[in-house]
A and B are shown apart, each in its own frame.
Chain A
Amino acid sequence: MSSPRISIIDYGVSNINSVQRMLSQYDMEISIVTSPLQIDTNVSCVVLPGVGNWDFGVQQLIESQFFSYLQDGQWRKLIGICLGFQLLGQSSQEGTKKGLGILNMGCSNLLGQLPNNKLVNSGWKEVTSDASFPIQDGRYYFTHSFGFTTKEAEERESRLELAKIQFSSIVAGAISENVAGFQFHPEKSHSRGKLLVERLRNEWI
């Protein structure tokens, strides 16, 4: 059985080396792509990482030609990480540009979602999941100031299995048959992040 082929999108808004390093630890063929033309039809999964501001991220996707590629659904499976996860949605209160709309929900600011009226969520947070796969309950690393809410996800995206930050309604992760997204950084979540990637490789991709 051949190794799954993974394309990581480099659109100038991500910690691409960290993501590549993590994925390379498992039996997968990894390539970093800067154009949709570099992704052939045999690629098992496309990864959209992201560290940044919403409008800047959308603009970078458009300019790199990946926006239309992703929106057109020319991929088998798609994983979004942090900003990459958010960009799968329709919109964000962080900016004015439209997202990919692959997920029928929008990102909100974190007002009222975090203890002590914090608007920035940084650090290791407990994640709980109704789904036994692939996110295990435990601590993962987050750094963001916008995100999807479980209320909206449950109302508008019933196909998704969700994980959330404990004692909040912030979506920590979501997965369906062909789309997965993580608000936290698996590549920076030490052993638990590595376990998640391993399970994705073996049981989902």
Chain B
Amino acid sequence: MNGSELRVLASLQISGDEAVKTEQFRNPQYLGDPTNILRILDQKGAQEILLSDIGASKTKLPNYDFIRHLSEEVSVPLAYGGGLSENSDIKLLTSLGVERFVVNNSFFEANSFVRELSSQIGKSSVALSLDISHFDEESGILELWSSLNSTVRRLPISELNEMVIASKVGEIIIRVVEFDGRSSNSVPARYRSILKKFQTLAPDLLSLQILIGTGIGSEDQINSLSDIKFLDGFVVGTMICRPQNSNGVLITFPKTFSIL
């Protein structure tokens, strides 16, 4: 895939009515006003926005009014994750402007909800976020971390393959927990290695949209992985929205991937 075909999603975490930034999905630090941040990202041509409500992940109560308010700031697709469950008002969220629903815990703990979700809104609008705390490449066992209760779930990747296909999810976002809020030179190599195992052990998933998130810190890192043909895109957070020493926040979106 060349630069113009890669999907690059701008990721914004919120808690309450604040934008926050976590490290390894813990210790959220105040980042700024999400309304302003989204407005600027939209002006800079962000392709898509992924809004993650880490507060709602724990309460399982999406903040519908706030989502409505935030969706009015963007004229590009909005994906939402955070506390989605069988009690969520999916019709309302769709009407408010959410185009894609990102599930995590509910995929494993309430899989029937995810199947029902897909049957209503279509598989292209349902994404599964896999938060990998450890991957034993030799055995093919994934350790998936749950931010809801800080527990780890062990799952053979082959079993994940079956579950995802059966659930009619259309997209997978692979996130290495260790890299959240951090970037290092080892990030691309690690993801390349993980994706290689997916290719071998979970081949059915390759026909879905595959994205990686956490740790991608530069356009060079994106470009270094662009040779992986089944990789459709990236979810970037720190790269596009980072705190500054003066208590401000720098918001940017790489022009190479901008839709302007």
B72 within 8 A of A: yes
A10 within 8 A of B: yes
The reply to whether A185 and B259 form a contact with Cβ atoms under 8 Å apart is no
Given the contacts A51-B122, A185-B99, A187-B75, A122 and B259 also touching, CB distance less than 8 Å: no
The reply to whether B77 and A185 form a contact with Cβ atoms under 8 Å apart is yes
Q: Which residues of A contact B120 (CB under 8 A)?
A: 13, 52-53, 56
The reply to whether A116 and B206 form a contact with Cβ atoms under 8 Å apart is yes
B186 within 8 A of A: no
For window 124-148 of A, CB contacts with B under 8 Å fall at 124, 126, 139, 141, 143-145
Q: Which residues of A contact B151 (CB under 8 A)?
A: none
The reply to whether B124 and A194 form a contact with Cβ atoms under 8 Å apart is no
The reply to whether B75 and A188 form a contact with Cβ atoms under 8 Å apart is yes
The reply to whether A21 and B125 form a contact with Cβ atoms under 8 Å apart is no
The reply to whether A190 and B118 form a contact with Cβ atoms under 8 Å apart is no
The reply to whether B121 and A124 form a contact with Cβ atoms under 8 Å apart is no
Q: Tell me which of A14, A94, A143, A193 has the highest count of chain B C-beta atoms within 10 A of its own C-beta.
A: A143
The reply to whether A15 and B122 form a contact with Cβ atoms under 8 Å apart is no
Q: Which residues of B contact A18 (CB under 8 A)?
A: 71, 97
CA–CA, A22 to B229, complex, Å? 35
Q: How large is the interface on B (under 10, 10 to 19, 20 to 34, 35 or more residues)?
A: 35 or more
For window 1-50 of A, CB contacts with B under 8 Å fall at 10, 12-18, 21-22
The reply to whether A10 and B95 form a contact with Cβ atoms under 8 Å apart is yes
The reply to whether B207 and A143 form a contact with Cβ atoms under 8 Å apart is no
Q: Which residues of B contact A83 (CB under 8 A)?
A: 122
Q: Which residues of A contact B94 (CB under 8 A)?
A: 13-15, 51-52
The reply to whether A119 and B207 form a contact with Cβ atoms under 8 Å apart is yes
Given the contacts A116-B229, A185-B99, A143 and B260 also touching, CB distance less than 8 Å: no
Q: Which residues of A contact B207 (CB under 8 A)?
A: 117-120
The proximity string for A residues 166-204 relative to B, scoring 1 for CB distances below 8 Å and 0 otherwise, is 000000000000000000010111110110000000000
Tell which of B75, B121, B230, B232 touches A190, judged by Cβ atoms closer than 8 Å: B75
CA–CA, A94 to B175, complex, Å? 30
Binding site for A on B (CB under 8 A): 1, 4-5, 7, 42, 45, 47-48, 68, 71-72, 75-77, 91, 94-100, 118-125, 170-171, 206-209, 229-230, 232-233, 259-260
Other 10 A-B pairs with CB < 8 A, given A56-B121, A143-B100, A145-B123:
A13-B94, A18-B97, A52-B125, A56-B119, A141-B76, A141-B77, A143-B125, A185-B77, A189-B76, A190-B42
